[in-house]
Homo-oligomer: A and B are copies of this chain.
Amino acid sequence: MKVGIADTTFARVDMGRHAIDELKKHASIAIERYTVPGIKDLPVACKKLLEERGCALVIALGMPGGAEKDRMCAHEASQGLMLAQLLTNKHIIEVFVHEDEAEDDRTLAWLAERRAREHAINAVKILLAPRQLEKEAGTGQRQGFPDAGPARQ
């Protein structure tokens, strides 16, 4: 089974490397990496990984800036990732870390690594352990920051 890693040169943390490292810990999976300049280049890269390079799933990693224009770029990229999934019937796990989610570079690097790793585990579950996800349904899981947990009645 092959998993695609699509990432950018724009991001300020090598999230692709962390995702690949985590994937290899959990499963014997071949990796196909595709690095593009920015997040708006990710959707077609993901679609090519799914349709032309035999990937069963792609993890798309990006780091939008904190300005208004950057948020719009992230929105357009997300719409593209959505469409790419619906045109291929395959999952693309979007792992975006917004620069303004962290107060300083150190936290940003920590958050980006952690989110990339936790989403890599999600990717493995989608492909190989769907019943595990079903057990966690409605339990308030988060990737990066601590889990919110279930709302108790």
Contacts and interface: CB of A to CB of B under 8 A. Distances in A.
Interface of A: 7-17, 33-37, 40-41, 43-45, 47-48, 51-52, 63, 69, 71-73, 75-87, 89-94, 98, 105-106, 108-110, 112-113, 119, 122, 126, 130, 133-134, 136-143, 148-153
7 contacts: A12-B150, A35-B137, A40-B81, A43-B85, A44-B91, A48-B89, A72-B78
Nearest to A73: B78
User: Among the interface residues A73, A91, A119, A137, which one has the most CB atoms of the partner chain B within 10 A?
Assistant: A137
Nearest to A84: B86
A90 to B, nearest CB: 7
Query: Which interface residue of A9, A13, A140, A141 has the most chain B CB atoms within 10 A?
Result: A9
A86 B133 contact: no
Contacts of A77: 82
Given A12-B150, A152-B105, A82 B76 contact: yes
